[in-house]
Amino acid sequence: MYSRYRTPLALGLIAASLGAAPLALAQQGSSKPSASVEEAFSNLDTPQPASHEELEREKLNQSQAEFAARQLEDNAASRRELADYEQALRDHEATVARIRAEDAAAQAAFEAERVRREQDHEAAMARWRADVAACNAGEVSRCTTQQ
Q: Dump pLDDT digits (tens) for 68-118.
A: 999 999 999 999 999 999 999 999 999 999 999 999 999 999 999 999 999
**Which band of pLDDT confidence, cut at 50, 70 and 90, is reported for residue 129?**
very high
pLDDT in tens, 33-76: 555 666 666 655 556 667 889 999 999 999 999 999 999 999 99
- Going from N- to C-terminal start, the domains of the chain cover 1-48
State pTM to two decimals. Answer: 0.45
Q: How distant is the alpha carbon of residue 102 from its chain centre? A: 34
Please report the DSSP string for 67-105 in residue order. Answer: HHHHHHHHHHHHHHHHHHHHHHHHHHHHHHHHHHHHHHH
